[in-house]
């Protein structure tokens, strides 16, 4: 029996229809007392229930890279629902899932990824990748390689594998002992050495050498994979130091450890290249994606695997299932149709190049906020930025949340995590809208108590 709340969730007579939904990653009582509700969206803007336009500086939740309510995607989804609404992918197939997988491997980095495994979210992509890593070593006769290495402040979704390798304490601490056999690299942020770096910080490549220490502790023969976000997003935009990812790759190669890039945020153009792997010139062994794969329209996640990984599983006897993993909706036809239409838009409109061509303008615009009250760091790469505020003593997160509420009132959607404002606008953004974001943020920061 659930204990009676000492603080009723809301004054239910205000909006009782809002009560039943247990909102994820939300201060439910605060929200239900002061709801912020969108009713529609188009391109760069949301419309609120009270008819206001809100400029989307976060591409929804880092996902609507081509802007909102794109007709081409809506039409593809409608057509698919009316043609083949659902088709199993266990022992059966349908045309759109094969078409999509083929399209994806063709844009994957360095032409080196030849298969794709589908799920329905970033979290499922991560779980799938971790399981593929452990099973891959086992089918090759190295079944002792079961340990997984994540990184402090990493975010890899909310399932047990993801929170185990992840490194954000609030996302982990309520959920018991998590997966055994996990270790963590240190995160790469250092305010003293990196504050207000434009693009990749110069300081910090040596932090990758911590992997050598972890290997020495556990022995390479027990380690399956290292998973990192090339740019850590959800923890508040941490940009990898110059040379850091290259060094991680070298150490993984030295010890036969698989390197997984979690590109749920960085995939599909966020940095001005198709994937972060392209941007940094570092090829991992697996890439997890979600969000931008369907422009956020229909849930989908996927894992790209590098040549040789799929083949290692193909030694099972004929007619035997080679990998006992999958979701009812792996490669759901409607999600596939949305993804194919999304890839068409990215391609036809050159949106990844567009992000690249706007990156310098974006950088200068966001760094112009330096000097405003409480701003202790600004970081950026591609069309991503993080603005870190000094926390109110004893009240972590409160200042950034205040900024978030003020932004919403002003007509701007930002995302905050801890005391960091994270920005990641759709890649269709115009320069004048970048100016607008910075102008509104400037006013908000200026007015913060
Ligand atoms: C890097 C990364 N991995 C995984 C996830 C989880 O994705 P989802 O919320 O779709 O499960 C996220 C979500 O923000 C993410 O940023």
Q: 249-281: per-residue pLDDT in tens?
A: 999 999 999 999 999 999 999 999 999 999 999
Q: Is residue 47 one of the residues assigned to a domain?
A: yes
Our mutation pick for probing the ligand 1 site, out of 119, 120, 123, 422, counting the most ligand atoms within 8 A of Cβ, is: 123
Our mutation pick for probing the ligand 1 site, out of 127, 263, 288, 290, counting the most ligand atoms within 8 A of Cβ, is: 290
Q: Is residue 26 one of the residues assigned to a domain?
A: no
Q: Is residue 190 one of the residues assigned to a domain?
A: yes
pLDDT bin (cut points 50, 70, 90) of residue 284 is very high
Residue 298 pLDDT exceeds 50 = yes
For residues 140-160, average pLDDT: 98
Task: Decide whether any atom of ligand 1 lies within 6 Å of the 215 Cβ.
Answer: no
First to last CA, the chain: 42
Q: How far apart are CA 302 and CA 103, in angstroms?
A: 13
Task: Decide whether any atom of ligand 1 lies within 6 Å of the 302 Cβ.
Answer: no
Task: Decide whether any atom of ligand 1 lies within 6 Å of the 233 Cβ.
Answer: yes
Q: Is residue 22 one of the residues assigned to a domain?
A: no
d(CA 288, ligand 1 centre) in Å: 9
Question: Is residue 50 located within the same domain as residue 117?
Answer: no
Q: Is residue 14 one of the residues assigned to a domain?
A: no
For residues 157-184, average pLDDT: 98
User: Token pair 């499922």 is at which residue?
Assistant: 124
Q: How far apart are CA 228 and CA 185, in angstroms?
A: 9
Within 13 A of 226's CA, how many CA atoms are on the CB side?
30
How many residues are there in the chain? 449
Residue 184 pLDDT exceeds 70 = yes
Question: Is residue 380 located within the same domain as residue 355?
Answer: yes
Q: Which of 123, 156, 88, 136 is nearest to 330 (CA)?
A: 88
Give me the helix-helix angle, 244-255 and 210-218, nearest 10°.
20
Question: Is residue 97 located within the same domain as residue 57?
Answer: no
pLDDT of residue 14: 77
Q: Is residue 11 one of the residues assigned to a domain?
A: no
Residues 2-57 pLDDT 10s: 333 344 444 555 799 999 999 999 999 999 999 999 999 999 999 999 999 999 99
pLDDT of residue 105: 98
Instruction: Tell me the three state secondary structure of residue 283.
Output: coil
The mean pLDDT of the chain is 96
For residues 139-146, average pLDDT: 98
Burial class of residue 328 (count of CB atoms within 10 Å of its CB; 0-12, 13-18, 19+): exposed
Of 301, 322, 348, the position where a domain reaches its end is 348
Question: Is residue 174 located within the same domain as residue 227?
Answer: yes
CB atoms within 10 A of CB 345: 18
Rg of the Cα atoms in the chain: 22
Of 313, 348, 383, the position where a domain reaches its end is 348
Where residue 421 sits, what CATH number does that domain have? Answer: 3.90.1150.10
pLDDT of residue 316: 83
pLDDT of residue 25: 97
Question: Is residue 318 located within the same domain as residue 364?
Answer: no
What tokens appear for 95 in the block? Answer: 């045309």
Q: Is residue 290 one of the residues assigned to a domain?
A: yes
Considering the entire predicted model, what is its pTM? Answer: 0.97
∠14-16-17 over CA atoms, to 5°?
A: 125
How many domains, the chain? 2
Residue 343 pLDDT exceeds 60 = yes
Question: Is residue 342 located within the same domain as residue 369?
Answer: no
Burial class of residue 185 (count of CB atoms within 10 Å of its CB; 0-12, 13-18, 19+): buried
What tokens appear for 195 in the block? Answer: 């504050």
pLDDT of residue 13: 56
CB atoms within 10 A of CB 324: 7
Q: How far apart are CA 289 and CA 408, in angstroms?
A: 29
Of 331, 348, 365, the position where a domain reaches its end is 348
Q: Is residue 6 one of the residues assigned to a domain?
A: no
d(CA 289, ligand 1 centre) in Å: 8
> Domain limits at 112?
73-348
Question: Is residue 251 located within the same domain as residue 115?
Answer: yes
Residues 80-126 pLDDT 10s: 999 999 999 999 999 999 999 999 999 999 899 999 999 999 999 99
Q: How far apart are CA 266 and CA 276, in angstroms?
A: 6
Question: Is residue 216 located within the same domain as residue 142?
Answer: yes
Question: Is residue 354 located within the same domain as residue 344?
Answer: no
Q: For 332, list phi and psi in degrees, rounded to 5.
A: -55, 135
Instruction: Tell me the three state secondary structure of residue 362.
Output: helix
Question: Is residue 168 located within the same domain as residue 181?
Answer: yes
pLDDT of residue 318: 86
Question: Is residue 53 located within the same domain as residue 197?
Answer: no
Question: Is residue 242 located within the same domain as residue 219?
Answer: yes
Instruction: Tell me the three state secondary structure of residue 105.
Output: helix
For residues 311-339, average pLDDT: 96
pLDDT of residue 317: 87
Where residue 229 sits, what CATH number does that domain have? Answer: 3.40.640.10
Q: How far apart are CA 362 and CA 385, in angstroms?
A: 9
């Amino acid at each position: 029996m659930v204990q009676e709340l000492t603080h009723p969730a809301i004054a239910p007579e205000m909006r009782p229809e809002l009560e039943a939904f247990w909102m994820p990653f939300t201060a439910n009582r605060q929200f239900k007392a002061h709801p912020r509700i969108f009713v529609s969206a188009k391109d760069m803007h949301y419309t609120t229930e009270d008819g206001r336009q809100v400029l989307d500086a976060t591409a929804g939740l880092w996902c609507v890279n081509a802007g909102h309510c794109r007709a081409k995607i809506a039409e593809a989804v409608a057509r698919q629902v009316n043609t083949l609404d659902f088709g199993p992918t266990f022992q059966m197939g349908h045309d759109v899932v094969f078409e999509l997988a083929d399209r994806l491997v063709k844009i994957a980095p360095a032409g080196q990824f030849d298969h794709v495994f589908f799920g329905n979210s970033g979290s499922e992509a991560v779980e799938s990748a971790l399981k593929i890593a452990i099973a891959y070593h086992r089918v090759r006769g190295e079944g002792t390689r079961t340990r997984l290495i994540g990184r402090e402040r990493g975010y890899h979704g909310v399932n047990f594998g993801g929170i185990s390798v992840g490194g954000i304490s609030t996302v982990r601490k309520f959920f018991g002992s998590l997966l055994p056999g996990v270790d963590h690299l240190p995160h790469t942020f250092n305010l003293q050495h990196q504050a207000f770096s434009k693009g990749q910080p110069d300081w910090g490549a040596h932090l990758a050498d911590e992997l050598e220490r972890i290997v020495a502790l556990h022995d390479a023969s027990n380690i399956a994979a290292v998973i990192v976000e090339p740019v850590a997003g959800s923890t508040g935009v941490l940009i990898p130091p110059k040379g850091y990812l290259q060094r991680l790759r070298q150490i993984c190669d030295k010890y036969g450890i698989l390197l997984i890039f979690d590109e749920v945020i960085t995939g599909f153009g966020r940095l001005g290249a198709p994937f972060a792997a392209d941007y940094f010139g570092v090829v991992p062994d697996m890439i997890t994606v979600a969000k931008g794969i369907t422009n956020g329209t229909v849930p989908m996640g996927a894992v790209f695997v590098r040549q040789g990984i799929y083949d290692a599983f193909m030694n099972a006897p004929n007619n035997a299932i080679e990998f006992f993993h999958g979701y009812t909706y792996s490669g759901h036809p409607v999600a596939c149709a949305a993804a194919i239409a999304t890839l068409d838009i990215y391609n036809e409109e050159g949106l990844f190049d567009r992000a690249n061509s706007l990156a310098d303008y974006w950088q200068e615009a966001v760094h112009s906020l330096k000097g405003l009250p409480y701003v202790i760091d600004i970081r950026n790469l591609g069309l991503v930025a993080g603005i870190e505020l000094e926390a109110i003593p004893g009240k972590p997160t409160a200042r950034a949340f205040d900024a978030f509420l003020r932004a919403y009132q002003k007509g701007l959607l930002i995302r905050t995590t801890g005391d960091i404002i994270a920005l990641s606008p759709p890649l269709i953004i115009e320069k004048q809208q970048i100016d607008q974001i910075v102008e509104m943020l400037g006013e908000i920061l200026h007015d913060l108590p």
